[in-house]
Amino acid sequence: MTAPRHFLTLMDLSADEIRLLIDRAIELKAQWRAGNPQRSMEGKVLAMIFTKASTRTRVSFEAGMAQLGGSALFLSGQDTQLGRGEPIEDTAKVISSMVDMVMIRTFAHADVETFAQHSRVPVINGLTDDYHPCQILADLQTFFEVRGDIQGKTVCWLGDGNNVCHSWMNAARQLDFEVVVACPEGYDPDPTLLGACSQWVRIERDASRAVQGADLLVTDVWASMGQEAEQNQRAANLAPYQLNRPLLDLAAPDALYMHCLPAHRGEEISAELMEAPDTVIWQEAENRLHAQKALMELLIGG
Ligand code: CP
Ligand code: NVA
């Protein structure tokens, strides 16, 4: 049996594979819109384990599998024996003996790595405390659709140096573009990752300076899942980094802006930008469906 291909971070694919995946996602989207069913997952089953909440990730994987002729199982941490302490290793051996692929959303990234080590089938990271690579596949697809290749462009990340920011940093070293992280002290991305990405990523404390000339501004919630108790402190410290019209006006004239959602209007993004009729945020959300279909095809051997 050949070793399964996992997708725990963007570094699990090559740059060429990421580009091919984006092309395929765009093609799958066009076929779906044209009403031409693609049945590349006929008879395949995806198990989805969630120990954190989700709207987009769950719906896009479940709908995506159904549209490709396969099916998906929703497993909450609470309702499985995982929630009662069954070891991840044992769970991985058993679940992966019954399904074709597993998607996991949980807290510790190490738990997804452990699962993958003991899985006979591909494991997809649907978000951990450290990374959210599926989100960035959809974000990249959106940028390519609207503006073309991202190589050589500048992306400004505004706010908490969190899991989504980390995946943008990995994307920068894979596809060779710059990421300027605008955040206050205490909210920097992981220092080890920063070291690995230093050729593509820099930190800028001043939000107005950080966004100058950027081709894309990206933000995310100030308190991620698991950090709810820090919400007020985080909101106070991160307020100068709100994605809003005055900052967008300092970026490149055709700059895009993105948010992985769910969003808090008036906190990390202004209500005006969320409501703007020309925002690509809804296209970005829909692209979760298409990018993940292309990802599943690639991992299963497409
Ligand atoms: N962006 C994202 O992953 O959304 P959900 O938390 O709703 O899955
Ligand atoms: N950083 C956020 C992303 C939600 C999709 C979180 O981890 O809660």
Tell me the pTM: 0.98
Asked if 32 and 127 sit in the same domain, the reply is: yes
Asked if 163 and 294 sit in the same domain, the reply is: no
pLDDT of residue 155: 99
Asked if 233 and 290 sit in the same domain, the reply is: no
Is residue 283 annotated as part of the catalytic site, yes or no? no
Is residue 90 annotated as part of the catalytic site, yes or no? no
Asked if 58 and 173 sit in the same domain, the reply is: no
For atom 3 of ligand 2, which residue has the closest CA? 224
Asked if 48 and 144 sit in the same domain, the reply is: no
pLDDT of residue 302: 57
Asked if 153 and 80 sit in the same domain, the reply is: no
Does any ligand 1 atom lie closer than 6 A to the CB of residue 199? no
Asked if 119 and 142 sit in the same domain, the reply is: no
CATH number at residue 28: 3.40.50.1370
Question: Of residues 24, 56, 288, 290, which has the active-site annotation?
Answer: 288
Domain annotation covers residue 237: yes
Is residue 220 annotated as part of the catalytic site, yes or no? yes
Asked if 143 and 226 sit in the same domain, the reply is: yes
Domain that holds residue 81: 10-132+285-301
Asked if 99 and 113 sit in the same domain, the reply is: yes
Is residue 290 annotated as part of the catalytic site, yes or no? no
Give the ligand 2 atom nearest the CA of 127.
Answer: 7
Give the ligand 1 atom nearest the CA of 55.
Answer: 7
Does any ligand 1 atom lie closer than 6 A to the CB of residue 260? yes
Question: Of residues 6, 129, 135, 234, which has the active-site annotation?
Answer: 135
Is residue 105 annotated as part of the catalytic site, yes or no? yes
Is residue 58 annotated as part of the catalytic site, yes or no? no
**Residues of the chain scoring pLDDT < 50:** none
pLDDT digits (tens, 9 = 90+) for 74-92: 999 889 999 999 999 999 9
How many Å lie between the centroid of ligand 1 and the Cα of residue 1? Answer: 34
Asked if 258 and 140 sit in the same domain, the reply is: yes
Q: Token digits for 110?
A: 């190490």
Question: Of residues 220, 234, 242, 290, which has the active-site annotation?
Answer: 220
How many Å lie between the centroid of ligand 2 and the Cα of residue 47? Answer: 21
pLDDT of residue 77: 87
